[in-house]
Amino acid sequence: MTMIKSSGNWLKHAPYNERTQAVEVTAILDLIGNTPLVQIQHITSHLPDNIRIHAKLERFNPGGSVKDRPALWMIRDGLRSGLLRKDKIILDSTSGNTGIALAMIGANMGFRVRLVMPGNVSDERKRICRAFGAELIFSDPLEGSDGAIMDARKIYEDNPDLYFKPDQYNNPANPRSHEESTGPEIWRDTDGKVTHFIASLGTSGTLVGTGRFLKKTNPDIQIIAAEPDSPFHGIEGLKHIESSIVPGVYDATVYDEKIGIDTDVAYSYTQRLASEEGILCGQSCGCALATALKVAEKLADEGKSGKIVAIFPDGGEKYLSTPVFAASDRVSYAEGI
């Protein structure tokens, strides 16, 4: 896996098989990647022993989410190409996690960061970005992530010499970060036994990049996309592709199946992950688990075995003020999906 060797030599990356567990690191960016893979035990107790669901907990990245990976790769590529210089401001649209990652990396490397995000993202996300020193611009909440994309594009076009725009939705470094890190990690940590891979659709970079690596390594691995089942949903960070601006990095040829998940179902499993598994995570993780359970239950009905890996993009601390964790807004547990 790619590894940053030190804050002073961070553009040089070691090959995947050279990375070792470090007792001490030089810079916070050294901690991006190599996140743990954890078996879901209690919610899956109804499944036969030959079917297992594992969650890759991306909250253990230093910025708290899977977006640390593409943010680092995009910044690295910008510096190497000369498009990013110290006199430029990093500008991008985000639903929160990429913004946090860019703000963290910008703080570490001395760059100004300006972020455009929907006004209804959780207060925690806004505060974290500001804590890292980022400037926030809010787009119309009713327009979702598409509104933030369009507003950021206009800001950039009005003064392109002022900004470096990573453009996570169209930058090939986004999926490449997962092809070079997330995919190899999953293959290694499952001893090559993974049979199904699940990621939720936002920019689609995680699904596309990881899926490409796994399909190249073993074409029999099933790649499944999870998405909200409606254009009007409450799962922060995810896109209903059919009704949204399609990201340039999106590649429908990578996955074998796409499954839609209801917002209440995603919320329910997010709550259950905290209360039954001890995993405090974001609502996109509940969406991924709901999808994994559909896949697992289908395998069980067909008498097949499976080792399912689902990406859990972030932790739940950023959502404690939102309906998914508000006691008065709790939804009933989903059953039989």
Residues near 218 by Cβ (< 8 Å), separated by ≥ 6?
192
Take residue 81 and report the two structure tokens written for it. 């190409």
- Residue 204 DSSP symbol: S
Is residue 195 a known part of a binding site? no
Sheet order of strands, 112-118 included: 135-139, 112-118, 89-93, 163-164
What confidence score (pLDDT) does residue 7 get? 36
Helix axes 68-81, 97-109, angle to 10 degrees: 50
Is residue 284 a known part of a binding site? yes
Q: In a structure prediction context, what are the per-residue pLDDT tens digits for the chain, which is 337 residues long? A: 333 333 334 444 433 444 445 446 568 999 999 999 999 999 999 999 999 999 999 999 999 999 999 999 999 999 999 999 999 999 999 888 999 999 999 999 999 999 999 998 888 889 999 999 999 999 999 888 889 989 999 999 999 999 999 999 999 999 999 999 999 999 999 999 999 999 999 999 999 999 999 999 999 999 999 998 877 777 777 777 777 889 999 999 999 999 999 999 999 999 999 999 999 999 999 999 999 999 999 999 999 999 999 999 999 998 898 888 875 344 444 444 4
What confidence score (pLDDT) does residue 24 get? 62
Take residue 73 and report the two structure tokens written for it. 């790769």
In SS3 terms, 145-162 reads as HHHHHHHHHHHHHHCHHH
Rounded CA separation 50/307 (Å): 8
What confidence score (pLDDT) does residue 10 get? 43
Rounded CA separation 162/318 (Å): 31
**H helix intervals, the chain:** 68-81, 97-109, 123-131, 144-158, 173-177, 183-189, 205-217, 263-272, 283-301
Is residue 206 a known part of a binding site? yes
What confidence score (pLDDT) does residue 17 get? 42
Cβ count within 10 A of residue 298: 11
**Residue 309 burial (C-beta neighbours within 10 Å; 0-12, 13-18, 19+):** buried
Give me the phi and psi of 139, to 5 degrees please: -95, 170
Catalytic annotation on 56? no
pTM for the predicted model, two decimal places: 0.88
Which residue, 150, 73, 134, is CA-closest to 99? Answer: 134
Rg (CA), the chain: 19
Is residue 145 a known part of a binding site? no
Please name each of the domains of the chain with its CATH number: 32-60+177-329 (3.40.50.1100), 68-164 (3.40.50.1100)
Q: How far apart are the first and last CA of the chain?
A: 36
What helix, strand, coil percent values describe the chain, rounded to 5? 40, 20, 40
Take residue 17 and report the two structure tokens written for it. 């098989």
Active-site residue, selected from the candidate residues 67, 294, 307, 318:
67
Which residue, 113, 66, 76, is CA-closest to 92? Answer: 113
Helix axes 123-131, 97-109, angle to 10 degrees: 10
Alpha carbon 8 to its chain centroid, in Å, reads 27
Which residue, 250, 255, 156, 268, is CA-closest to 211? Answer: 255
Is residue 50 a known part of a binding site? no
Is residue 139 a known part of a binding site? no
Is residue 204 a known part of a binding site? yes
Catalytic annotation on 305? no
What confidence score (pLDDT) does residue 299 get? 99
Active-site residue, selected from the candidate residues 177, 284, 294, 307:
284
